[in-house]
Amino acid sequence: MEYFTLARVIHIIAVIIWIGGVGMVTTVLIPAIKNLKTKEERIDTFEKIEGRFAIQAKITTLLTGLSGFYMMFELNAWNRYLDYKFWWIHAMTLIWIVFSLILYVLEPFVLHRLFRKHADLSPETTFNIIHKAHWVLLILSLITTAGAVAGSHGWFWIK
């Protein structure tokens, strides 16, 4: 198997695990946690599960970024950033940057403390905000994924 094909396989598998995990957290985990009886139970359960998922998400976003960069480099496709028909490449890069900032910078240095503080004071509001933020990220990720699949197979919605 040539390296480019291997990079593509790694890229797609990493995206499936990463965005699939975001989908699971958004549609299953957070709603289930919101239904737990006590504030402490909600906070502890969320932190345990989300903490484990964060490790998985960090690994898959790293693999996605490295494999994506490698493919862009091998194809010498940097000029696609200058062509609006390749909007999905911009979207993929932007989604990757947003998630990477959240996972590697904001979550460990800012969001974890903010979550703990606000969840103690107002768990309902805190979990509603987290849930809405996850929905936004999931929807943008799915639009991006749909655009990337279509665009990488030659279907451009914009002529």
Give the pLDDT confidence of 67-105 residue by residue, as tens digits.
999 999 999 999 999 998 899 999 999 999 999 999 999
- What is the chain's mean pLDDT, rounded? 94
Task: Identify the domain containing residue 78 by its residue range.
Answer: 3-152
Q: What share of the chain has pLDDT > 70, as a percent?
A: 97
Q: What is the CA angle 143-57-20, rounded to 5?
A: 45
Give the pLDDT confidence of 102-132 residue by residue, as tens digits.
999 999 999 989 998 999 999 999 999 999 9
What type of residue is 98?
V
158 assigned to some structural domain: no
73 assigned to some structural domain: yes
Number of domains in the chain: 1
* Residues 50 and 111 sit within 8 Å (Cβ to Cβ): no
157 assigned to some structural domain: no
* Residues comprising the chain, all counted: 159
55 assigned to some structural domain: yes
pLDDT at position 157: 66
The structure tokens listed for 157 are 């919605």
114 assigned to some structural domain: yes
159 assigned to some structural domain: no
The reported pTM is: 0.91
102 assigned to some structural domain: yes
